[in-house]
Chain A
Amino acid sequence: MDLAELQEIGEKQRTDRPSIRVRCCTAAGCLSSKSDAIKKSLDTAVKEAGLEKEVEVCSVGCMKFCGRGPLVEVDPVGKIYEMVTPENAPSIISAIKGGKATAIELDRNHPFFTRQKPIVLENIGKIDPEQIEEYIGVGGYQQLYQVINDLPPAEVIEEITKSGLRGRGGAGYPTGLKWATVAKMPPGQKYVVCNADEGDPGAFMDRAVLESDPHRVLEGMAIAGYAIGASEGFIYVRAEYPLAIERLETAIKQAKKYGILGSQIFESTFDFKINIRIGAGAFVCGEETALISSIEGGRGNPRPRPPYPAQEGLWGCPTLINNVETFANIAAILREGAEWYASIGTEKSKGTKVFALTGKVNNNGLIEVPMGITLREIVEEMGGGIPGGEVKAVQTGGPSGGCIPASLLDTTVDYESLARVGSMMGSGGMVVMDGATSMVEVARFYMEFCRGETCGKCVPCRAGTVQMYHTLTKLLKGEATETDLERLKAMCDMVKNTSLCGLGQSAPNPVISTLRYFPEEYLSLLKKESLNGKVAVSS
């Protein structure tokens, strides 16, 4: 297949279909509210109205406003309906021909939509993730074709470097630099790994991308494989994501059929095959060395780094590990150019970031925003604020991150600013909390998570998280003394500095950040007689 043939498939896909498309979200969120029944009901209504030639009902991935799901969109009419039920679905079809829909219409000029800057999510909710032709129809796989035919690997890496893209898995390591490191390792067996473990509570960005636009990730991985000289890749997905796994399998099969994956891609000399590995769903398996061990069939235990996976990864070979969202950015960067990408965002954090906006906020869902936007803009404008109350804090970075108090809502979203206020970008969970939230309880929630998720290999993390959880519980029961509080702080310091991997090293962060911004909540929980005459601040 050459470029003309590829474009022809896309063209055919665009012209051969009915002019009106009714899109029904069948990603995990809406599917859990039975959106498959809605799709069926829509299909029946189209048939009954005899509109098969003009109207097509297609199932698409997440349409972002998950909090109001299930969502149905009518294109090009431009209407989105929220909380659709199978019963009111037929009225959506009759509304196309002038009837009145009983489903509630969503305002697409809402800041929730208008403040977004879709790059990673450009196709989400628009194309059918189960049909490769739809991805090709929006220009998919053209970048892969072009790099294989026109761009030497070094130039691909150069372009990614110039774009300023940083890893979206949490730590924000420069992607171009990582690619260059693996590319510079002596030629031989190398691997590309896509980290789709996504274990943070409250996060569903990667799942949404995989369920809604899987080919995008495959294209990014194949380009990476070409750039670093690897002929094989692995996607490590947790077993809790069955729909993502199914859609990935379908996508890989379809791409292979077209000669886009496998051997001699686009009739070139470049081979690249992608395998899926299913993880049992342990948070620690997202840590790269644990992930490698798990793919190899071993226990998902982290090991000390160096050597880094770029030097010694899967089966001792140089291995490139990137996050789903990182790979999902690649094709767009090559299509629009590094300068374009670098023009979005801040000086040190380029491009956009996808967040799963959840918690006590009016508009829950998936958002993609340019770096540099403030938390206030996200929470108050896009999120529509808190139902009947005020924001108390925003938690970013999951169990490795921290709580940012309302007074710091003007903090901009970028790697450095978030770190400066004691949190981190993380993979993209963003939980909004209201005045009724006890910050000590929040800290304990994350500690409970880490306590249950540590692999148990090293003492500070295995035993430290248990002791910290215990002390937080003691506090919440009103049984803790000042000594306990001091010890809690000492444990934060010790666990952070002595643990082997990122899980333990960042597990104390939720405690540290709440201690920093909400000390009075901790003090008010101390046993009164322990305060040596000092008066506890009551909350």
Chain B
Amino acid sequence: MSVKTLKIDGVEIAIEEGATILQAAREAGVHIPTLCHLDGVSDVGACRLCLVEIEGNNRLLPACVTEVIEGMVITANNPRLKEYRRMIVEMLFSEGNHVCAVCVANGNCQLQDLAIELGMDHSRFPYRFPERDVDLSHEQFAIDHNRCVLCTRCVRVCDEIEGAHVWDVGFRGAAAKVITGLNQPWGEVDACTSCGKCVDACPTGAIFRKGATVAEMDRDRNKLQFLVTAREKKEWTR
């Protein structure tokens, strides 16, 4: 396999061909914020937080789906990118109903982490207070659409790792939401094996275990990574 050399935020790095800029950045120790990326499942480039500047290209490209090219010079962090990222997170907060104080994921939420990282102490955009529902029909789990950021990590995990494809996205624009089955209550979807992978995948408090109270919900994302490694490389130990 051939190796590509490139520069990210001034750090030189060599990485195998076919790797993404995100992988390269992580190996080089350069932090790039992400939300829709989840190790072990496919990338969709939806949240746009990982956009980076590439010398000689006037378009911003998502690090999670862009393959490295020999000699690339990448800027992953600068004031412009930071401002865009902050606006994206602000828009997410004003789009849903994210009331951290009463959320099961408080303190263990990737959206919250992003807000802190990007210095977002309030949203400059007016809150939209959409009417969204909560589905408690599943025996063990529940989804609160008020906290969903539409990263589709649950969709991909359930489809690509569990193979059940319980989740999908329905409707469009502001009305878009993740649905279970054919937009049935989750508890009525026979395909669900109650494996809990979607629970582990969700970055926010949207999908949670019933019975968890405020700030109790911690997720074991390594479990998903472990399963992928186990299947792909036949390594069954952690």
Within 8 A of B (CB), among A118-168: none
In chain B, what residue has the closest Cβ to A299? Answer: B169
Q: A456-B169, A498-B51 are in contact. Are A303 and B91 (CB under 8 A)?
A: no
Q: A463-B94, A498-B51 are in contact. Are A456 and B174 (CB under 8 A)?
A: yes
Judging by beta carbons under 8 Å apart, are A498 and B60 in contact? yes
List of B residues within 8 angstroms of A466 by Cβ: 95, 128, 173-174
Bound CA span A231–B45, Å = 33
Judging by beta carbons under 8 Å apart, are B48 and A459 in contact? yes
A460 contacts chain B at the CB level, 8 A cutoff: yes
Judging by beta carbons under 8 Å apart, are A458 and B47 in contact? yes
Bound CA span A494–B47, Å = 13
Judging by beta carbons under 8 Å apart, are B174 and A462 in contact? yes
Bound CA span A455–B94, Å = 19
Bound CA span A457–B151, Å = 8
Q: A451-B173, A467-B91 are in contact. Are A497 and B60 (CB under 8 A)?
A: yes
In chain A, what residue has the closest Cβ to B45? Answer: A304
- Pick from B48, B171, B172, B175: contact of A458, CB under 8 Å: B48
A-B contact count (CB 8 A): 94
In chain A, what residue has the closest Cβ to B150? Answer: A456
B233 contacts chain A at the CB level, 8 A cutoff: no
- Pick from A284, A304, A458, A487: contact of B124, CB under 8 Å: A487
Judging by beta carbons under 8 Å apart, are B95 and A463 in contact? yes
Interface-centre pick from A299, A303, A463 (highest chain B CB count, 10 A)? A463
Judging by beta carbons under 8 Å apart, are B172 and A454 in contact? yes
Could you give, for residues 301-312 of chain A, a 1 whenever the CB lies within 8 Å of some chain B CB and a 0 otherwise? Answer: 101100000000
List of B residues within 8 angstroms of A462 by Cβ: 95, 150, 173-174, 176
Could you give, for residues 4-39 of chain B, a 1 whenever the CB lies within 8 Å of some chain A CB and a 0 otherwise? Answer: 000000000000000000000000000000000000
Bound CA span A464–B92, Å = 10
A453 contacts chain B at the CB level, 8 A cutoff: yes
List of B residues within 8 angstroms of A494 by Cβ: 83-84, 87-88
List of A residues within 8 angstroms of B91 by Cβ: 459-460, 463-464, 467
A470 contacts chain B at the CB level, 8 A cutoff: yes
Interface-centre pick from A284, A451, A456, A470 (highest chain B CB count, 10 A)? A456
List of A residues within 8 angstroms of B149 by Cβ: 459
Interface residues on A, range: 20 to 34
Bound CA span A459–B48, Å = 7
Could you give, for residues 84-99 of chain B, a 1 whenever the CB lies within 8 Å of some chain A CB and a 0 otherwise? Answer: 1001100110110000
Bound CA span A462–B174, Å = 6
List of A residues within 8 angstroms of B44 by Cβ: 303-304, 457
B215 contacts chain A at the CB level, 8 A cutoff: no
A490 contacts chain B at the CB level, 8 A cutoff: yes
Judging by beta carbons under 8 Å apart, are B171 and A456 in contact? yes
List of A residues within 8 angstroms of B84 by Cβ: 494, 497-498
Bound CA span A142–B174, Å = 50
Interface residues on B, range: 20 to 34
Within 8 A of B (CB), among A445-502: 451-460, 462-467, 470, 487, 490-491, 494, 497-500
* B227 → A minimal CB distance (Å): 25
List of B residues within 8 angstroms of A490 by Cβ: 87
Within 8 A of A (CB), among B158-184: 168-169, 171-176
B54 contacts chain A at the CB level, 8 A cutoff: no
Judging by beta carbons under 8 Å apart, are B45 and A453 in contact? no
* B203 → A minimal CB distance (Å): 13
A20 contacts chain B at the CB level, 8 A cutoff: no
Within 8 A of B (CB), among A19-49: none
List of A residues within 8 angstroms of B175 by Cβ: 456
List of A residues within 8 angstroms of B173 by Cβ: 451-456, 462, 465-466
A282 contacts chain B at the CB level, 8 A cutoff: yes
* A23 → B minimal CB distance (Å): 42
List of A residues within 8 angstroms of B87 by Cβ: 460, 490-491, 494
* A437 → B minimal CB distance (Å): 26
- Pick from A455, A460, A487, A491: contact of B48, CB under 8 Å: A460
B72 contacts chain A at the CB level, 8 A cutoff: no
Judging by beta carbons under 8 Å apart, are B95 and A456 in contact? no
* A513 → B minimal CB distance (Å): 19
B46 contacts chain A at the CB level, 8 A cutoff: yes
In chain A, what residue has the closest Cβ to B43? Answer: A304
Within 8 A of B (CB), among A250-307: 282, 284, 299, 301, 303-304
In chain A, what residue has the closest Cβ to B35? Answer: A459
Within 8 A of A (CB), among B49-102: 51, 59-60, 62, 65-66, 83-84, 87-88, 91-92, 94-95
Judging by beta carbons under 8 Å apart, are B172 and A459 in contact? no
Bound CA span A503–B48, Å = 15
Judging by beta carbons under 8 Å apart, are A455 and B45 in contact? no
B125 contacts chain A at the CB level, 8 A cutoff: yes
Q: A459-B92, A460-B88 are in contact. Are A498 and B172 (CB under 8 A)?
A: no
A-B CB contact pairs (8 Å), 23 listed = A282-B172, A299-B168, A301-B169, A451-B174, A453-B173, A454-B172, A456-B169, A457-B176, A458-B48, A459-B46, A459-B88, A459-B149, A460-B48, A460-B88, A462-B95, A463-B174, A466-B174, A467-B94, A470-B126, A487-B125, A494-B83, A497-B60, A498-B48
Contacts beyond the supplied A301-B169, A455-B176: 12 A-B pairs with Cβ under 8 Å: A299-B169, A304-B62, A456-B173, A457-B150, A458-B48, A462-B176, A463-B91, A463-B95, A487-B124, A494-B88, A500-B46, A500-B48
Q: Which 8 A-B pairs have the closest CB atoms?
A: A456-B176, A463-B91, A304-B45, A463-B95, A498-B48, A454-B173, A304-B65, A456-B172
